[in-house]
Amino acid sequence: MAGNSILVWDSIQNHACRRLALGLTDLLENRHLYQSFDMADARQEWAASAHQKERSRNKPSMLLGGGHLAPTKSADQFEGDYTRYVDNLWTFHLETEGAVLQADLQDHPGCPVPALNLRCSHCKAGRTFIPLAVHPCGHGWYKGKPQQSWSFEYHCPTCKNCLHFFLTREGNRLRLCGRFPAKEVEVPDEFPELLSKYISEAKIATQAGKHLAGVLYLRVGIEQFWRSLPEVMLQCPHEKPTGEQLGDAYNKTLPAEMKAAAVPTLKSIYERLSNAIHGADESAGPCDDGYKDVLKHFKARHLYANEIEDRRAKLSAPPESGES
């Protein structure tokens, strides 16, 4: 029985370290501030697999007369084993020169710090960032659950630019709470430069869980884009037009071919975003849907670029002599 317990513990150790390393990599490569990774899914995954394996091992053999074996542990019992393991303090270790990680994981679950595939903000190229150091910043217990924090330091192997992360742990959840320099958000080329900065801020806000702020950035970006177009301002009857008036004026500048293609209009998107703001809608839907429709609109602008330019020239041209 003791041997079986050691095998179970080793299996949990290997699985937990692997899943924690994968979760850490995803957090640092793909996520934004205040997003997190939860080990609860890993616990359920391992417990279901371990339970199925034990049931298979303990299936009575007809060749041996179908003898009865000891009852198998339930999936809930396996989950309990996993929980007792990961409820310990976690440690992270640097692996150097291919050395095998040897940690006292029975007391402190340990995990190797992974290299990261990131775009360097200094030399502007995709690089494999190398971990330089990991520093435990503190630990404690709250309502029986462990709380910890760490700082991670990486550098670009080409230009040696450093990248710093700060992470916290609350129970089974590992959260990204700080990053310097801040992550750059790439915006599709279809967006004009003026709008791109607002789109970037909207994406950062919504990926950090601040969906209402993302809606505001997106709506402000649309309005500022309208105001940047001389042909739109020429169509407005007032010196300080409202968003609705700007939307109507902008629609007049679009060619008939684009309107016939049933492309999402910026005015309809603007109105939906305004409704979300006035209704204090903090769900992800308004910003995510708005972003997708704005992107569709600007892809259509690229497709009908010649027609839009012809329409702009016509609207911007001075009236011919004799016209009222």
Ranked by mean pLDDT, the top range of 61-65, 75-79, 312-316 is 312-316
Residues 219 and 243 in one domain: yes
State which of 156, 180, 204 marks the end of a domain.
180
pLDDT of 125 higher than 50: yes
Residue 67 included in any domain: no
Residues 6 and 39 in one domain: yes
Residue 48 included in any domain: yes
Residues 158 and 226 in one domain: no
pLDDT of 102 higher than 90: no
State which of 180, 203, 219 marks the end of a domain.
180
Query: What angle separates helix 243-252 from helix 211-227, to the nearest 10 degrees?
Result: 50
Residues 123 and 256 in one domain: no
Residue 65 included in any domain: no
Q: Select the more confidently predicted residue: 168 or 208.
A: 168
Domain total of the chain: 2
Residue 101 included in any domain: no
Residues 125 and 218 in one domain: no
What is the rounded distance in angstroms from the CA atom of residue 276 to the CA atom of residue 219? Answer: 10
Residues 19 and 142 in one domain: yes
Residue 282 included in any domain: yes
Chain-centroid distance, C-alpha 297: 24
What is the extent of the structural domain holding 129?
2-56+73-94+109-180
**pLDDT bracket for residue 226 (50, 70, 90):** very high
Tell me the average pLDDT of the chain: 83
Which pLDDT belongs to residue 3? 41
pLDDT of 261 higher than 70: yes
Residues 36 and 174 in one domain: yes
Residues 207 and 172 in one domain: no
Residue 321 included in any domain: no
Cis preceding-peptide flag for 181 (omega within 30 of 0): yes
Residue 203 included in any domain: yes
pLDDT of 26 higher than 50: yes
Contact in structure between 246 and 232 (CB atoms under 8 Å): yes
Residues 171 and 241 in one domain: no
Residues 82 and 159 in one domain: yes
pLDDT more than 90, % of the chain: 46
pLDDT tens, position by position, 127-162: 789 999 999 999 999 888 899 999 999 999 888 889
Residue 68 included in any domain: no
